[in-house]
Copies of this chain bind each other. A is one copy, B any other.
């Protein structure tokens, strides 16, 4: 992932909210590779809204930096999932930030809904 000009602010570094956008990109990549894309998930009648987001910033990402945003996933309960993230700059392997998000599994009416068995199986395997 390469840092976009739009993602910087006048301090000359990436605006802090954009790390959460990158987390989401890494999260959906992970889901896609687990065989359950976010698109399918929504088609299947599931939503995974964020109930908690957290980020710790160590060094600033800058415009044009090449980054890798890694994500791992853990099943907290049949209706709750946690993703952990690390943002690494590829040029020097510096760890710029880390964080996590917690998500509820809901049906279209907004009620908790147990994740499908195949998805739970996919998510409990270390990626």
Contact = CB atoms under 8 A, between A and B. Distances in A.
Contact of A38 (B5, B37, B57): B5
Interface in A35-60: 37-39, 47, 49-58, 60
A6 interface: yes
Given A6-B17, A63-B10, A52 B49 contact: no
Interface size on A, as a range, is: 35 or more
A21 interface: yes
B11 A9 contact: no
Contact of A16 (B10, B12, B20): B20
Contact of A10 (B9, B17, B51): B9
Contact of A6 (B9, B39, B60): B9
B51 A54 contact: no
A4 interface: yes
Given A9-B9, A20-B20, A50-B57, 6 more contacts: A4-B25, A5-B38, A6-B9, A6-B17, A11-B49, A17-B24
